[in-house]
Amino acid sequence: MTERNATNEHWLRQVTTPLGQARVPCSQCSMQGVCEALSGDDDDKTFVRRGRLGSGQTLFRAGDTFHGIYAVTSGAIKTYAILDRDDVQVVDFHFPGDTVGLDALDRSAYTYTASALTETLVCRVDVDNPHIPIERRQDVQDATIRALGEQLRHEQNLSILLRKQNAEQRIATFLLSLAGPSVWAPARGVDLQLPMSRKDIANYLGIAVETLCRLFKRLQDDGLVDSQGRHVRLLNVAALSELAHPAESTEVETCSV
C-alpha cells in the first residue's frame, strides 16, 4: 500500500501544473535554480535562453547533436521514436515544469524527437560545451541529478503501469496524472484541455485507438468523465482513482455497499 501510494504520487508529480494553466514560475520548474544561477551573470555568458514553438514544430530530432536540455514553461511537448515508416512510439509528454532531453545529457546526440503539441514556451539550458559553468557549479549538478532521478522514477512507474494495468486503468491513471494536484480539490469537476490527439494517447498508453475510444465512451456512460473531443471534464475523481488503483479490498468489503 505504501508502495502503491508512492507510485501514484509520482505519477501525479510528473505534471506539476494542471493543464490549461498559462505559465509555470521558475520555482516550480524541475530545473529549479539552474536558470537563475546561469543567466544574467555576464552578457556574453548566458546559458539560458527562452524559445517559442508553434504547434507541431520540432524542437530537436533523434540523432541531432546534443546542445542542451529544455524546460517547458507553457504548452506541451511530446517526445517520440520513429521505429519504422508508419510506426512511431510516443515516449513521453512534457508539461510546464518538466524537462526535455535529459536522457541525452551524457551523450553527443538526442535520443528521441521532440515536437510541440501546441504553442509552447521553453527555456533552453546549454550544456553542450564542457567548458561552460554548468559542468562546475554544485547547485547545477544537484539540480541535474535530481531531475534525472525524478525522470527515472517516472519511467519506472510507467513501466509498472504497462505491465500491471489494463486499458481502462491506464486511461484513468493517465487522466488523473494530467489533472495533477487539482484532483485533490475537485470543486465541481476538473477541466482538462488535452493538447494531444487520441492517437498519441493510445500510442503512449500502448493500446489501440479504437480501444481508447470505446473506453472513453464507457467512462462517459458511467458518468466518470465528460469527454468532448479534446476537452475532458473529470466528473468523479474518486471513482477514477478507484479504477486506477483498485482498493486492496480483501477484508474491507463493506465499502462496496
Whole-angstrom distance, CA of residue 123 vs CA of residue 179: 23
Distance between CA atoms of 217 and 209, rounded to whole angstroms?
12
**Collapsed DSSP state (helix, strand, coil) of residue 78:** strand
Task: Give the three-state DSSP class for 28.
Answer: helix
Give least dist CB 50 to DNA, A: 26
Residue type, position 56, single letter: G
CA 54 to chain centre: 19
Q: Which is nearer to a second copy, 3 or 43 (CB)?
A: 3
Nearer to DNA, 21 or 211 (CB): 211
Q: What per-residue string of b and e applies to 218-236 under the rule 16 or more CB within 10 Å gives b?
A: ebeeeebbebeeeebebbb
By CB under 8 A, tell whether 196 contacts a second copy: no
Cell of 2: 505504501
Q: By the criterion CB under 7 A, which residues form the site for DNA?
A: 166-168, 197-199, 206-211, 213-214, 216-217, 227, 229-230
Chain-centre distance for alpha carbon 83: 21
Q: Exactly one of 9, 135, 139, 210 binds a second copy (CB under 8 A); which one? A: 135
Could you tell me the smallest distance in angstroms from the CB atom of residue 199 to DNA?
Answer: 4
Residues numbered 154 to 193 that lie near a second copy (CB under 8 A) are 155-156, 158-160, 162-164
**Among residues 81 and 208, whose Cβ is nearest to DNA?**
208
Q: Which does 198 bind (CB under 5 to 8 A by kind): a second copy, DNA, none?
A: DNA
Closest approach, Cβ 170 to DNA, in A, equals 8
Which alpha helices (DSSP H) does the chain contain, by range?
Answer: 2-14, 34-38, 138-164, 167-179, 198-205, 209-221, 237-244
Among DNA, a second copy, none, residue 199 binds (CB under 5-8 Å by kind):
DNA
Please name which of 80, 88, 245, 66 lies closest in space to residue 173, comparing C-alpha atoms: 245
Q: List residues near a second copy by CB under 8 A.
A: 1-4, 6-7, 62-63, 81-85, 89, 91, 102-107, 111-112, 135-136, 138, 141-142, 144-146, 148-153, 155-156, 158-160, 162-164, 203-206, 248, 250
